[in-house]
Amino acid sequence: ETGVTQTPRHLVMGMTNKKSLKCEQHLGHNAMYWYKQSAKKPLELMFVYNFKEQTENNSVPSRFSPECPNSSHLFLHLHTLQPEDSALYLCASSQDGTGNQPQHFGDGTRLSIL
């Protein structure tokens, strides 16, 4: 139990579907992150929210849309995805967004695009 919960754990969707990934942290942290993890590749940072404000968007395609309604919840809305978007999507949180605090990760959502 890492204190960061992601749902669903697995998701299969077609390219024309719309779905959302959910992340919730119970650690009282103020920064939350979305990462993409593909096999044998480094973690790719997608979005960062610090005190509910988006502070980072690493040139992510617009078919990925994040939402952070409060410091405990983070969503990733998906629409019109491509096969190359199949990956493990990890959510993480940290005390703040300064970078030198350890990040606590959820178990991820394994996404498969048909």
Partner 1 sequence: GQNIDQPTEMTATEGAIVQINCTYQTSGFNGLFWYQQHAGEAPTFLSYNVLDGLEEKGRFSSFLSRSKGYSYLLLKELQMKDSASYLCAVLDSNYQLIWGAGTKLIIKP
Positions touching partner 1 (CB under 8 A) are 2, 4, 40-43, 45, 90, 98-100, 102-108
Element (H, E) at 56: strand 53-57
Least separation in angstroms between CB 43 and partner 1: 4
Least separation in angstroms between CB 15 and partner 1: 25
Do residues 33 and 45 touch, judged by C-beta distance below 8 A?
yes
Residue with Cβ nearer partner 1 (70 or 100): 100
Residue with Cβ nearer partner 1 (30 or 103): 103
Least separation in angstroms between CB 93 and partner 1: 11
Residue with Cβ nearer partner 1 (17 or 45): 45
Bridge-based pairing state of the strands 73-79 and 64-70: antiparallel
Least separation in angstroms between CB 98 and partner 1: 6
Which distant-in-sequence residues (6+ apart) come within 8 Å of 62 by Cβ? Answer: none
Distance in angstroms (rounded) separating the CA atoms of residues 65 and 46: 10
Q: Provide the token pair at 41.
A: 């590749």
Residue with Cβ nearer partner 1 (3 or 79): 3
Which amino acid appears at position 73 of this protein? H
